[in-house]
Amino acid sequence: MVPHALLIPFPAQGHINPMMQLAWKLVSHGFLLTFLNSDSNHNSILKANAPNSLHDNIRMISVPFEFPVMDTLEGVGNGMDAVEKCMGPSVIDRVIQEINAREEENKLTCIIADAWMSFGLHPLATLHKVPLAVFHTAPVSIFAIHYFITNMVSLGVVSSDGIPKQDQKTKYLPSMPPLRSGDLPWLWGGEYFFRKGTRMAQEIKHIKWILFNSFLEIEAPVVETLSKEVGVYPIGPLIPPEFLHSTASTKVLPSLRKHETECLQWLDKQCTHSVIYISFGSTGIMSEKQVEELALGLDATQRPFLWVVRSDLMKGSEAILPAGFLERVRDRGCIVSWAPQLEVLSHPSLACFVTHCGWNSVQESITMGVPMLCWPYFADQFINRTYVVDVWKLGLPLDANSQGIREKEEFLKGVEILLESEQGLEIREEARKLKGIARDTIKDGGSSWNNFNLFLTAMKRQPN
Ligand code: UDX
């Protein structure tokens, strides 16, 4: 009997990607996998990727669900509740029963659920007599800040409903760097997110295996503190070796949007370390004024750039670029609606990454050795920015003015410091060093390699 895992990602690109990377790793260790998506994501994946490019040992299945419109805070809360209802324990129970009835020879041997999908799954896994592991796709620090909320309340640094007591930079936890008050990951989503995050951390603390898409070397103090309380297993970076060593693969990591691979040929024509790559992940939204300032900033740098302008980058309309911009930058700009980001970040032409600091983007940038200009929007992105800039020294912040706009001058200054100054040189050197450390951690005997092997051994044991 081969080990057979049911993987349950949260239904969004930033969670499906790392879960799929974990899936590739498990397949290479002899697992059979069933990957559960919502119907709408399942259909997007089939549309955006050729069916024969998907991995043979990863079976893609789906259940009915589509995110409701999430353009207000209330909408986001409703969306999160709807996920829990439509892809929650009773639905998963039915899915498990169907898989086991169909797969007489290969019944499920374990469940791996995204941390935000794990509500109510512990009793269900016990009922089906299979181990449950939780995969927290963001860094350990983000879990810790949700987990230790009562400590922060007792210390008097936040109120019991998660509101910071001070405006200045504060050490919310002894094992984490000082954070700006606006860095706390639930603040953008209000009390709903605070309660949900706290519940998530409390619910999964009893689960033996909490996997993280991070690695010990970048988060050692917080890993050490949290490990005294729960089973912390950083196993990242999970980027498959095919993407680290440019070995040809006929398989792709499925994306919800079609990758515009022509930009790779465009990158081939640019000079080494010359191109600014700009991408705000799958969710970053900009105002018309902000798009204009960024375009003017790009224009002013006089450097080649690759900019991901998603069709939904601007709320309610296609992105509106300043008049004459496209003509002016025709010879040195490439605009796509979705890039093959891993290949882009590993391309020798890249100079730096202007990123919203979504955790996958940060982790991918670290692993490819690309320095960052940080432009966070919400959730974990502010803490990720603090680590990138203040702790790992891999990038610079791009700060907004009092109206919340990153002005052209701020952008131009950031690019020039990062790519031209002594300070920039030190940052680029740190990025190069951390790339090596990130890659070493997944090699034989590295800390992520060890954690992954402990996990594998436990999951390969037959269920009792
Ligand atoms: C969301 C949250 O915003 C983020 O803060 C959290 O850490 C994860 O969930 P998202 O905004 O999509 O994620 O950002 P990110 O975490 O960077 O994930 C985006 C993924 O899409 C990355 O794996 C990236 O490689 C991929 N991507 C992005 C592409 O393949 N092409 C693109 O053009 C842009």
Per-residue confidence in pLDDT tens, the chain, 464 aa:
799 999 999 999 999 999 999 999 999 999 999 999 999 999 999 999 987 788 888 999 999 998 877 667 777 788 888 999 999 999 999 999 999 999 888 999 999 999 999 999 999 999 999 999 999 999 999 999 999 999 999 999 999 999 999 889 999 999 999 999 899 999 988 888 999 999 999 999 989 999 999 999 999 999 999 999 999 999 999 999 888 987 666 777 889 999 999 999 999 999 999 999 999 999 888 999 999 999 999 999 999 999 999 998 988 788 889 999 999 999 999 999 999 999 999 999 999 999 999 999 999 999 999 999 999 999 999 999 999 999 999 999 999 999 999 999 999 999 999 999 999 999 999 999 999 999 999 999 999 999 999 999 998 875 54
CA of 364 to the centre of ligand 1 (A): 10
Please name the residue whose Cα sits nearest to atom 3 of ligand 1: 358
CA of 157 to the centre of ligand 1 (A): 31
The secondary structure element, H or E, covering residue 58 is strand 58-63
At residue 382's C-alpha, the angle toward residues 12 and 23, to 5°, is 35
CA of 361 to the centre of ligand 1 (A): 6
Residues 234, 215 contacting (CB under 8 angstroms): yes
pLDDT at position 462: 57
CA of 358 to the centre of ligand 1 (A): 6
Handedness of CA 382, 383, 389, 394 (dihedral sign): negative
CA of 281 to the centre of ligand 1 (A): 4
* Token pair listed for 387: 């680590």
As a whole number of angstroms, the distance between CA 10 and CA 104 comes to 28
Largest CA distance in the chain: 67
Please name the residue whose Cα sits nearest to atom 13 of ligand 1: 14
pLDDT at position 446: 98
As a whole number of angstroms, the distance between CA 354 and CA 352 comes to 7
Inter-axis angle of helices 422-441 and 408-420, nearest 10: 70
Pocket test for ligand 1, best of 83, 186, 188, 282 (most atoms within 8 A of CB): 282
SS (H, E, C) 67-81: CCCCCCHHHHHHHHH
Please name the residue whose Cα sits nearest to atom 28 of ligand 1: 281
pLDDT at position 247: 64
Atom of ligand 1 nearest to the CA of 336: 33
As a whole number of angstroms, the distance between CA 445 and CA 205 comes to 27
CA of 100 to the centre of ligand 1 (A): 33
Atom of ligand 1 nearest to the CA of 359: 7
Please name the residue whose Cα sits nearest to atom 27 of ligand 1: 341
CA of 221 to the centre of ligand 1 (A): 26
pTM over 0.80: yes
At residue 237's C-alpha, the angle toward residues 195 and 231, to 5°, is 50
pLDDT at position 79: 85
Q: Which of 55, 30, 25, 21 is nearest to 251 (CA)?
A: 55
Q: ipTM of the predicted structure? A: 0.99
CA of 310 to the centre of ligand 1 (A): 12
CA 312 vs. chain centroid, Å, equals 19
Pocket-forming residues, ligand 1, beta carbon under 6 Å:
12-15, 17, 138, 255, 279, 281-283, 308, 338-339, 341-342, 358-361, 364, 379-381
